[in-house]
């Protein structure tokens, strides 16, 4: 998961990353990665701060906020197990 987080952070030029891990009732892991930048709430939330789900869905999923597939690459790691 660390490699995926690094690739997403680089693709979205994130200043920090909110990571959510769920396992709701089934035997599986379910991750959400939220790349964050200063000002990413666009005036939503409390004085511009808060969880990403306070941003309207249409705004959060706008094409200008999407990374292109070729921008998301897993970083090369030596000695991976």
Q: Are 44 and 55 in contact (CB under 8 A)?
A: yes
Going from N- to C-terminal start, the domains of the chain cover: 2-68
Whole-prediction pTM:
0.66
Q: Which residue matches tokens 């005036």?
A: 43
High-pLDDT (> 70) share of the chain, %:
88
Which of 23-27, 30-34, 56-60 shows the lowest per-residue confidence on average (mean pLDDT)? 23-27
Per-residue pLDDT, averaged over 11-34, amounts to 86
The token duo for 59 is: 């705004």
The reported pLDDT for the residue numbered 17 is 92
């Amino acid at each position: 998961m660390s490699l995926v987080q690094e690739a997403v952070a680089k693709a979205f030029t994130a200043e920090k990353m909110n990571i959510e891990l769920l396992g709701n009732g089934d035997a599986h892991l379910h991750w959400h990665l939220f790349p964050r930048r200063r000002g990413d709430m666009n005036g939503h939330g409390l004085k511009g701060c808060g969880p990403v789900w306070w941003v309207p869905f249409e705004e959060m999923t706008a094409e200008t906020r999407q990374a292109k597939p070729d921008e998301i690459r897993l970083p090369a790691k030596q000695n991976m197990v």
